[in-house]
Structure 1
């Protein structure tokens, strides 16, 4: 899959930029100049403004006022600050939703969402698209030649708050979408299997997005899959309305958007509309939703997995909002304040994973509104504080090392593979949906604690053999939906020397979400050289199942790991298949649980359960994957290793996620780019500290 965007401005991220989100409309104008002066003093060079300011720019329909932002942008330019302008379409003004209620979103029950928060509109309303295009054009015309403005953020966090849309306009748009996709009702009925339960459509007017049925929202699963595809296409087409205006009116500016939320193919949007992708990085989201019973939890370190998904969209990206303080709305979320050093750690976490532009959210905490507890760098009182001092330290460090970092890209030898079809289908299908996150987390965790950097790779119709061959190994945990073309591509990769690792529930559905009438694992059967003899969920009255590995531990003991959640009982079909583990309990004890098929120069693995950390560790050993810095760098478990590499050689980021100091051993003389000091031998990284080795 192409992940470089449309690339009109290939140099947009060549130089590192550090900055902050700023809302001049929230503050007395008398504060602006002092704010800008202090931003520059701590090393900031860029601000984002205006993404929620529609009512400022257009207080009444057709009446436009630019005075406030003219003054704010002129003053920013005076102080040497560059500006990212947000199109304000995430927050339509009250006059708009009152005059045109058809722009509002609705719940699946048909209840209209009212004005009063944000993102309460739908993408399908022709009127909303018209008014969005107008405000975008007016802003672009006003600021296309402003010397401070360098780029645009379209809307804000597409599909945040709501990722489903059931307004009357959405049902109409969906009907048009399926008509364009299937052309005839016969093909639609076949794709959705509507002969089941007499759901057959005889007229296009009978087609709707999912609605409430007996038992709640339990739609036809094939309709539900197409619903997600429609939402994605519809979101992208709404974004395109604005992107087209910006490309036409302000061709010298780059275009991006921020966020990574559900029901949106961000890779497609980036490829078709953007110069690069942007993300909002709040590592404490990983800490407030984690399982309190988890052993060795990654906590905020787990956010690196989210950043690796961003990197799959755009290898070098922007963090449009970097967490800088405690967070929360007045009615939900209550993240604690970062401890000393954590904000700096999280900043370098983003940079280590590919960010070449980082803006903190926000300059000063709002004194009013829903986000008055979503703290920024400055508190309400506007007096010096620890977060500002920490930001100043980061600014000084990046003034020296930022551009050296910006010329590099993240490097990994293994990728965790995902795809949109399975993620969207898995929202409805409990026979595979819950497994993907569990297995992906287990693999990421095992790799992290062994200091093996990993990428995320999204499979799609445009994925090429060259995309796959960047990696020694691919872990594709539960690709239930698998096209024959995808299986053929993975077989090419394997025969050429690659290693592909599947989990249970692989390959038995086609792209419609219908089950193949073939032996499991369906499309992947030939690649894996096996069939699935039988299968079962492991839940309810069934006791936990384990598997025994053929290999012994270093001390000669039998290795036993869990066989979690679901068990495929495997039957080797090819003489090239080797059984590596067998089930140790239940009626299928002794049956194959893990197999490896030697194919050409490579190998295809099938793991018959949901992955856990211990099982991932076994496979990592058996495929011979090691930390790329193992020969000269010894790290304790709490330190993440991330590598960015360029023409000037690799950069090794060492990130200590513990509050306690960590001792590392560096076997070769290196330079810490953040301090300029030469380091070797035993080096202590302070709690929440960062070392950047060159």
Structure 2
């Protein structure tokens, strides 16, 4: 990790594809990169045929020549395994390696990620090419680390090939051991779905109503995650046999149907992310919906990455307009936005930032996915901005290795994330609450972390947070309840939203009084519940002197045991019923809120629980700005990021050092549109 995440400085890189350019350009490109402050290139993630042009015939000269030049000029290299795009000879000879749609129709050669993880042929050929890559190239002095595949589970994160059905059966046999246990877990008595032979089980297939057994789909999603993780671990295990001391293994992106936390533990030294805030400005109608957070939403994604690796890298950072010839049309980032998005990544924990890409490609699907340079390679505004970013980061190097600071956390777990994908009732409340909590925290300048738990979690990792929100813990287990209880008993404040505790780990609804396993912890009983009817009008909640609107759903609550009703519904037939119950447990307190969160209600909770705007005595900024604090020892570093094209008036309430200029700053100041400020306090 030392070459890019050494805790002593920030490092810039870029994605480069020597196979796309005449060799005569290589030296000029590398030297221009170095002159711009770029000292690392990522290569080879789509270049299987450059090493194995035909089956079993290996040649290493192409990348040897490039690596010779990299070593000569002093460029460091992150080398990738090429398994995201199998070559034409492979898919033509072995069509069983191809992924398929839900109807069983194969995805043919011509794009990318058209393979499936579970084809024995693809696994063997992937093992061989990774072994060849690593055994030949890993010893090269210029190589500092390896990227596995590219954006695992990107674009396609469902798999319906024959190989997947065979592997799914093995996964289920290992999990349930008997068909009797599987039938019980899946509730196959419903609609006469009982299985009497393992061969009767397939990955989900097309049904006339597009409805399939939800318990099967939940296990299928777990199976996809397991398949992807095993594919990554196979590659990591091979690479590590040849790894030089100090070199690292990573992969890039953050995609669905994948337990990225477990994959990181099993296979990676740290995660890298691909950050494209310019998606917010794509010309599709959905991108321009009123009230959206635009490019600021990428701070939510970066917070997810931080839950995996507190200090991480960006393998692909937006540098130009994004688009394919088949879809996606977007404007070029405006002056300052490239810096803004880089500092957004750094503010959230990135010590390495690599821009996608060096030069815009002249061929293929991504001819409109622009890089630092345009087709002509002429000097332009974006390369000037890279040079300026490099200068800024040079002045910030004492911050490297520092940790993002937050006292508020949002709890997540993969079982509930995946259940919310397949269950529209769960998904409706979860989507509303996740969006609202993020907006309320961002707009009130309240930094937060995502905190993932599972049955093996320890309450110690939760205790650093003053308040934890668990928006909708629909699936709950005894083990997770015990972790939450230990956190509250130790003095923590836990807020749980509606529709919690009503499913077990298989996704089956429990027959307990709701909220099931969470009743005792929250001091709550739920005798009745309902979606808020469209004709109900505005359903409101009153909590002391605050009245706000409920959203989407209403659990009608009654306190039990030591539980205390804190708030009531004030309209429709819900009026007078409990909307919020609190329960003192040990040194802390647990709350059960009977609705989904909206921005207004989330803000009320932040205010009532006294965690809102924790840095209001440090800086005063408008809602258009994000603030973040990174901490290293006794030093704190403040980021102010202006996402608006218009200037923002801020007031720094403590003296500090502007790390861009080295000058002391305090008091009122103006930050221009898309401008950033980084201050050592």
Do both share a fold (TM > 0.5)? yes
Decide whether the 8 Å contact of 1:17 with 1:45 is kept in 2: yes
The Cα of 1:54 is off from its aligned counterpart by 0.7
Which residue does 2:594 correspond to in 1?
608
Q: 5+ residue gaps in structure 2? A: none
After TM superposition, the structure 1 = structure 2 runs for residues 145-294 of structure 1, keeping only pairs within 5 Å, are 145-216=139-210, 218-252=211-245, 253-288=247-282, 292-294=288-290
Given the alignment of the two structures, is residue 302 of structure 1 paired with residue 302 of structure 2, yes or no? no
Given the alignment of the two structures, is residue 76 of structure 1 paired with residue 70 of structure 2, yes or no? yes
Decide whether the 8 Å contact of 2:361 with 2:375 is kept in 1: yes
- From 529, 542, 562, give the equivalent of 2:549: 562
Which residue does 2:324 correspond to in 1?
329
Q: 1:13 to 1:207 in 2, by over 3 A?
A: farther
Which residue does 1:571 correspond to in 2?
558
Per-residue CA distance 1:303-351 (angstroms, 9 max, x = gap): 1011000100111111000001110111111122111100100000001
Equivalent-residue separation in structure 2 for 1:399 and 1:644 (angstroms): 17
SS of 2:622's equivalent in the other structure is coil
Equivalent-residue separation in structure 2 for 1:339 and 1:11 (angstroms): 29
The Cα of 1:491 is off from its aligned counterpart by 1.3
SS of 2:38's equivalent in the other structure is coil
Q: 1:8 to 1:660 in 2, by over 3 A?
A: closer
Which residue does 2:670 correspond to in 1?
684
Given the alignment of the two structures, is residue 518 of structure 1 paired with residue 519 of structure 2, yes or no? no
Equivalent-residue separation in structure 2 for 1:14 and 1:86 (angstroms): 25
Equivalent-residue separation in structure 1 for 2:137 and 2:160 (angstroms): 36
TM-score of the two chains, using structure 1 as the length reference: 0.95
The Cα of 1:407 is off from its aligned counterpart by 2.0
Given the alignment of the two structures, is residue 505 of structure 1 paired with residue 491 of structure 2, yes or no? no
After TM superposition, the structure 1 = structure 2 runs for residues 375-454 of structure 1, keeping only pairs within 5 Å, are 375-402=370-397, 404-454=398-448
RMSD: 1.6
Which residue does 1:644 correspond to in 2?
630
- From 653, 656, 672, give the equivalent of 2:642: 656
Equivalent-residue separation in structure 2 for 1:187 and 1:449 (angstroms): 48
Which residue does 2:92 correspond to in 1?
98
Given the alignment of the two structures, is residue 584 of structure 1 paired with residue 570 of structure 2, yes or no? yes
Segment drifting more, 645-654 vs 270-279: 645-654
SS of 1:237's equivalent in the other structure is helix
Equivalent-residue separation in structure 2 for 1:174 and 1:521 (angstroms): 32
Which residue does 2:605 correspond to in 1?
619
Decide whether the 8 Å contact of 1:57 with 1:64 is kept in 2: yes
Equivalent-residue separation in structure 1 for 2:543 and 2:99 (angstroms): 56
Which residue does 1:373 correspond to in 2?
368
Equivalent-residue separation in structure 2 for 1:612 and 1:11 (angstroms): 38
The Cα of 1:573 is off from its aligned counterpart by 1.3
Per-residue CA distance 1:436-494 (angstroms, 9 max, x = gap): 23211211111111111100111112321111101001111011001122112111111
Equivalent-residue separation in structure 2 for 1:310 and 1:392 (angstroms): 26
Q: 1:63 to 1:12 in 2, by over 3 A?
A: farther
Equivalent-residue separation in structure 1 for 2:456 and 2:359 (angstroms): 43
The Cα of 1:292 is off from its aligned counterpart by 4.5
Q: 1:194 to 1:73 in 2, by over 3 A?
A: same
After TM superposition, the structure 1 = structure 2 runs for residues 101-112 of structure 1, keeping only pairs within 5 Å, are 101-112=95-106
Equivalent-residue separation in structure 1 for 2:7 and 2:100 (angstroms): 39
The Cα of 1:542 is off from its aligned counterpart by 2.9
The Cα of 1:16 is off from its aligned counterpart by 2.3
Segment drifting more, 613-622 vs 8-17: 8-17
Given the alignment of the two structures, is residue 674 of structure 1 paired with residue 660 of structure 2, yes or no? yes
The Cα of 1:595 is off from its aligned counterpart by 2.2
The Cα of 1:129 is off from its aligned counterpart by 0.9
The Cα of 1:18 is off from its aligned counterpart by 0.6
SS of 1:670's equivalent in the other structure is strand
Given the alignment of the two structures, is residue 338 of structure 1 paired with residue 333 of structure 2, yes or no? yes
Q: 5+ residue gaps in structure 1? A: 1-6, 553-558
Per-residue CA distance 1:157-202 (angstroms, 9 max, x = gap): 1111110111111000000110011111111111111111221111
Equivalent-residue separation in structure 2 for 1:394 and 1:510 (angstroms): 50
Q: 1:89 to 1:545 in 2, by over 3 A?
A: same
SS of 1:426's equivalent in the other structure is helix
SS of 2:480's equivalent in the other structure is helix
Decide whether the 8 Å contact of 2:558 with 2:581 is kept in 1: no
SS of 1:269's equivalent in the other structure is helix
Per-residue CA distance 1:562-593 (angstroms, 9 max, x = gap): 2111111111113441322x222221222111
Decide whether the 8 Å contact of 2:498 with 2:553 is kept in 1: yes
Decide whether the 8 Å contact of 1:13 with 1:357 is kept in 2: no
Equivalent-residue separation in structure 2 for 1:10 and 1:574 (angstroms): 54
Matched residue pairs, number? Answer: 677
After TM superposition, the structure 1 = structure 2 runs for residues 475-486 of structure 1, keeping only pairs within 5 Å, are 475-486=469-480
The Cα of 1:14 is off from its aligned counterpart by 5.5
Q: 1:356 to 1:238 in 2, by over 3 A?
A: same
